[in-house]
C-alpha cells in the first residue's frame, strides 16, 4: 500500500490560520449562527479486471459496511447470497441492513474487461468494502472480496488484491443444460431448492464436457483457476 498524505499539510495550514485569528480577536461581536457544516465525503474507487478465459461476471456489487460478512466458509449461504451465486442478482446482498453505501455495475463484466465502481460515505470509522459477482457459466459459483478494512486508508492510498472462486453450496454442479444462466447455457438462475453441501466452500472449478463430464454443456473454454479478478481499491477523497 502506497502512502500519500497531501491532506495533512493542508490541515496544518488551516489550523495555523485559525490560531492567528483568535490571537487578534479583542472585541466581542455577536456570532451569527453558522450553517451546519457539509458532512465530509469520503470516496473509494474500486477497479476490477476479469481474469478468466470465458466466464462473464454478473454485474459487480460493491458495498461499504462496518459489520457483517456476505459469506463465511463453512456456513450456510444466506438466501441473498444464493440469489447472487445462482442467478447473478446482487440486489439482495446490497440491500442488507448492514450495508451503508453500495453500487452495482450496470452490465456483466466480460473476460478481459475492466470496470470501475465508486463508493462514498460520510464516516470512515470501521468501514469495510465487500465486492461480489457470479461466474455466470457455473451453477452457483461466485467471486469477490470479503470485508476488506479500508478505515485506515489515507487519500491516495491504494490496495491491490486478487479474488478467488467460491461455491455457495446451494446447487449441485451439474453443468447440465438449463441449469446455468450464463451465455454458455441460457438456463435457470435462482432456484430455492438446495441440493448440494449447503455450506459455502471454495469452488473446485468446472469440469466441462471436454474434461470428462458428458452431461456438461460447458467446454474447456469455460474452465478457470484462481485468481478470478484483479482488484484495486483506492481512496480518492
Interaction residues for other proteins, span 3-22 (CB under 8 A): none
Binding to other proteins by CB under 8 A, coded x per residue (else -) over 71-100, reads: --xx--------------------------
Is 161 an interacting residue with respect to other proteins (CB under 8 A)?
no
Among 135, 200, 218, 229, binds other proteins (CB under 8 A): 200
Among 146, 174, 191, 232, binds other proteins (CB under 8 A): 174
Instruction: List, in sequence order, every residue forming a beta bridge with 104; answer none if it has no partner.
Output: 61
State the nearest-atom distance from the C-beta of 31 to other proteins, in Å: 46
Is 146 an interacting residue with respect to other proteins (CB under 8 A)?
no
State the nearest-atom distance from the C-beta of 170 to other proteins, in Å: 12
Contacts of 80 (CB under 8 A, 6+ apart): 92, 93, 95, 96
Largest CA-CA distance found in the chain, in angstroms, rounded: 89
Is 159 an interacting residue with respect to other proteins (CB under 8 A)?
no
State the nearest-atom distance from the C-beta of 225 to other proteins, in Å: 6
CA dist list (Å): 179 to 33, 168, 174, 184: 63, 15, 8, 10
Question: Is-cis flag, bond preceding 227, omega within 30?
Answer: yes
Cell of 31: 456570532
Instruction: Name which of 47 and 147 has its Cβ closer to other proteins.
Output: 147
Phi-psi category of residue 147: left, alpha or beta, with phi > 0 → left and psi -120 to 50 → alpha: left
Is 225 an interacting residue with respect to other proteins (CB under 8 A)?
yes
Instruction: Name which of 20 and 214 has its Cβ closer to other proteins.
Output: 214
Instruction: Name which of 24 and 214 has its Cβ closer to other proteins.
Output: 214
Closest CA to 163 of 213, 109, 199, 125: 109
- Is residue 70 within 8 Å of 144, Cβ to Cβ? yes
* Residues of this chain that bind other proteins (CB under 8 A): 73-74, 164-165, 167, 169, 172-175, 197, 199-205, 207, 211-215, 225-226
Amino acid at each position: 500500500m502506497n502512502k500519500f498524505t497531501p491532506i495533512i499539510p493542508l490541515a496544518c495550514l488551516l489550523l495555523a490560520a485559525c490560531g492567528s485569528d483568535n490571537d487578534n480577536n479583542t472585541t466581542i461581536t455577536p456570532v451569527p449562527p453558522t450553517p451546519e457544516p457539509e458532512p465530509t465525503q469520503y470516496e473509494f474507487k474500486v477497479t476490477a479486471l476479469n481474469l478468466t478465459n470465458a466466464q462473464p461476471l454478473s454485474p459487480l456489487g460493491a458495498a461499504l459496511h462496518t459489520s457483517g460478512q456476505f459469506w463465511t466458509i463453512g456456513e450456510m449461504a444466506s438466501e441473498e447470497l444464493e440469489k447472487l451465486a445462482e442467478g447473478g442478482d446482487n440486489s439482495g446482498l446490497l440491500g442488507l441492513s448492514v450495508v451503508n453505501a453500495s453500487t452495482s455495475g450496470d452490465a456483466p463484466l466480460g473476460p478481459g474487461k475492466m470496470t470501475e465502481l465508486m463508493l462514498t460515505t460520510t464516516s470512515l470509522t470501521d468501514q469495510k468494502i465487500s465486492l461480489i459477482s457470479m461466474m455466470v457459466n457455473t451453477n452457483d459459483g461466485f467471486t469477490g472480496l470479503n470485508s476488506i478494512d479500508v478505515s485506515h486508508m489515507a487519500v491516495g492510498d491504494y490496495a491491490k488484491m486478487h479474488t478467488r472462486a467460491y461455491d455457495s453450496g446451494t446447487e449441485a454442479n451439474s453443468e447440465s443444460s438449463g441449469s446455468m444462466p450464463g451465455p454458455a447455457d441460457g438456463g435457470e438462475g435462482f432456484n430455492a431448492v438446495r441440493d448440494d453441501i449447503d455450506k459455502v466452500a471454495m469452488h473446485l472449478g468446472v469440469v466441462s464436457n471436454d474434461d470428462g463430464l458428458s452431461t456438461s454443456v460447458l467446454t474447456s473454454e469455460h474452465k478457470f483457476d484462481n485468481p478470478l479478478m484483479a482488484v484495486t481499491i483506492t481512496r480518492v477523497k
